Amino acid sequence: MAEVAEVMTEVTTEVAESEALATLHRVFGYETFRGEQEAVIEHVVSGGDAVVLMPTGGGKSLCYQIPALVRPGTGVVVSPLIALMQDQVDALRALGVRAGFMNSTQDFDERRTVEAEFLAGELDLIYLAPERLRLESTLDLLKRGKISVFAIDEAHCVSQWGHDFRPDYLSLSLLGERWPDVPRIALTATATHATHREITERLGMPDARHFVASFDRPNIQYRIVPKADPKKQLLAFLEEEHPGDAGIVYCLSRNSVEKTAEFLARNGIAAVPYHAGLDAGTRAAHQARFLREDGLVVCATIAFGMGIDKPDVRFVAHLDLPKSVEGYYQETGRAGRDGLPSTAWMAYGLNDVIQQRKMIQSSEGDEAFRRRASAHLEAMLALCETARCRRAQLLAYFGQDPAAEACGNCDTCLVPPETWDGTVAAQKVLSTVVRLQRERGQKFGAIQIVDILLGRKTAKVIQFDHDQLSVFGIGEELDEGAWRGVIRQMLAQGLLAVEGAYGTLVLTEASGTVLRREREVPLRKEQPKPVTARGSSGSSSGSGRAERKAKAAAAAAEMPSELLPAFEALRAWRAGQAKEQGVPAYVIFHDATLREIAALWPGSVEELGGISGIGEKKLVTYGEGVIGVLASLERPAGPAVAAPEPRRRSDGDPDLHWPETETEPEPEPEDWG
């Protein structure tokens, strides 16, 4: 008690902190606001409308959750992600926030309970799908209660150009008409100016203040490797750098999603597929497993991922080229929300370029659509082929200044690519294309061009007499992979183009300048050895799966090995708690929090309260349990780290006891075991 009294005196001598900051400490257990959070929250708490652009993992949720807690009434959150509402609500309840949702998965009684709680003013937050908001019955219900704030999550769904378009979002402008005095906050991780404008216009928020956060995600390491045998490359990447880690593998087609998941599973990696062609039950089950299990890999099309706020996704891999930098950034942003080191890895090759160019040309869209799609592809290719820092290039694309010209945490920074003078090689490729066209009136794809350059007498070469061309065999100084690299880079630089349904190679206006030696063609040398994130983590053969997992998690968290036993014990304890309550493990504590506990080794519940991510409710619920786990272990010798100071609490309640709440109904166990 003496300790608590001391804390109290400190509090009274401090300048009173804002209610928002007090809520951040008390409920969420975080020390400070991140970036734009504070400004956004202040603005909304005082009744202003806001449009918020923040990268995935940037911390958007707090921007509406804290105003909902601070302002009187219930915060209404509009979210398109019905399947995730239960988890979002569970996570909030674990923090002691009174949250509920209304959607089509509920039966009549459940909905009635939530409605009654809302009307009685017993909810801090209520989640709704946009289609429900259109119903007059819902609007009537909302009119009868008190609303603190409207939050429109995933606000880019209002944009007709994006692939996430939801027609129901268009009707959300009525919120401003019917509730002119309730502040509205629209949030998205999509950064383009066009989307930004559409959100403002279509949601009817002309007076909203705009907040644009830094889009940098420093803990994500960006890497793009030349594609050779993508599945094998992926497997090596996972085995070497992310054994036992949770992650997402994006593929373009449903077929490759299935094949990749099968391949990984056959090679001992827990992996499941996810795409729009699977039935709803399977999709929901796979998503639930991803959220609840430690270390599952989901192979997916872009249908997967929006709104998934699992904090410990350690990698996002792309086996095919994304269609735009926006898409790439949103998908990779799903890694490392907990701030711990994570990898964005992509394998990219000549076929990606040809395929996407073909797809654009044969698409049903009009000319404007094709122009837009091509511009997106060009930007994506520029990112892939750059010799500059990838992060700097990404940020520049979003119109932001990078902190430094070289980030030190992307492949081009870690191993600067060498360039070589590819002028002669480019001329050889172009000459071959010219000869075929002028002498034979033929157009061929990359495979045939490479076979001709290498002087290979394949069936197709003989069939067309291509061994009689003067360019036959003029390119034996490079191997097949190198030639494909040359062609790929020429396509990316606009020195060659792809035509028609067969993806034949044709000249562009710029080709002539190379043939006439009016310009040089610098090319990137393909990295012969892959860049790895943290060097080899050593062989883990002989160790069990659990141990491998713990090692992987520790490696990802860059944790000293002496802390491993404590981290592992805490994770095991957490898994037990999660199972008992039927919630994902991260709802109990994030890895980052467990890591800090292991490092600081708090000796008492009070000390534990100073650790980031442990608010009042969690301290009361789990404090004794965590201290018990540590007490059962031997504290490793090592440099003494000061235990954290108990966080100052401003609510003036020296008693850390949380008021009794009725126990929540156990959610239905998902079919994932």
For residues 116 and 74, is the Cβ–Cβ distance under 8 A?
no
Distance CA 541, CA 548 (A): 9
* CB contact at 8 A, 503 and 355: yes
Nearer to ligand ADP, 56 or 260 (CB): 56
Residue 325 binding partner per list ligand ADP, Zn ion, none, with a CB distance cut-off of 5 to 8 Å that depends on partner kind: none
Q: Which of ligand ADP, Zn ion, none lies near 54, with the C-beta cut-off 5 to 8 A by kind? A: ligand ADP
Q: Which stretch binds ligand ADP (CB under 6 A): 12-20, 30-38, 123-131, 437-445?
A: 30-38
Task: Pick the stretch among 33-41, 74-82, 282-290, 552-560 that binds ligand ADP (CB under 6 A).
Answer: 33-41
33 binds ligand ADP (CB under 6 A): yes
Give the Cβ contact number of residue 529 at 10 Å. Answer: 6
Residue 347 pairs in a beta bridge with: 225
Site map (CB under 6 A) of ligand ADP, residues 266-305, x = contact: ----------------------------------------
* Near ligand ADP in 54-83, by CB under 6 A: 54, 56-62
Residue 65 contact partner, candidates Zn ion, ligand ADP, none, CB within 5 to 8 A by sort of partner: none
36, 49, 115, 309: residue in contact with ligand ADP (rule CB under 6 A): 309
* Nearest Cα residue to 96 out of 29, 40, 150: 29
Rounded CA-CA distance 279/143 in Å is: 37
Q: Which spans of this chain sit near Zn ion (rule: CB under 5 A)? A: 389, 391, 407, 410, 413
Q: State yes or no: residue 385 binds ligand ADP (CB under 6 A).
A: no
C-beta separation of 370 from 181 below 8 A: no
Q: What does each C-alpha distance from 550 to 1, 241, 338, 630 come to in angstroms? A: 37, 13, 17, 17
Q: Which one of ligand ADP, Zn ion, none is in contact with 407 (Cβ closer than 5 to 8 A by kind)?
A: Zn ion
Compute CA 503 distance to the chain's CA centroid, rounded to the nearest angstrom: 32
Give the SS3 label for residue 94.
helix
The interface region with ligand ADP, picked from 27-35, 163-171, 406-414, 622-630 by CB under 6 A, is: 27-35
Query: Using CB under 6 A, which of the segments 50-58, 140-148, 346-354, 394-402 binds ligand ADP?
Result: 50-58
Closest distance to ligand ADP from the beta carbon of 389 (Å): 24
Q: Work out the number of other CB atoms within 10 angstroms of the CB of residue 72.
A: 8
Q: What is the DSSP string of 345-397?
A: EEEE-HHHHHHHHHHHHT-SS-HHHHHHHHHHHHHHHHHHH-SS-HHHHHHHH
Instruction: Give the per-residue contact string, 321-360, with ligand ADP (x = CB under 6 A; - = no).
Output: ----------------xx----------------------
Distance of closest approach, residue 552 Cβ to Zn ion, in angstroms: 24
Give the tokens for residue 159: 């944009």
Kind plus residue range of the DSSP H or E element containing 78: strand 74-78
Rounded CA separation 160/301 (Å): 20
Partner from Zn ion, ligand ADP, none binding residue 573, C-beta < 5-8 Å depending on class:
none
Which is closer to ligand ADP, CB of 102 or CB of 308? 308
Neighbours of 130 (CB within 10 A): 21
Interaction mask 464-493, ligand ADP, x per CB under 6 A: ------------------------------
Q: How far is the CB of 542 from ligand ADP (least distance, A)?
A: 34
CB of 551 to ligand ADP, least distance (A): 23
State the minimum distance, in angstroms, from the CB of residue 593 to ligand ADP. Answer: 10
- Count CB atoms within 10 A of the CB of residue 517: 10
Applying CB under 6 A, the residues found at the interface with ligand ADP are 30, 33-34, 37, 54, 56-62, 309, 311, 337-338
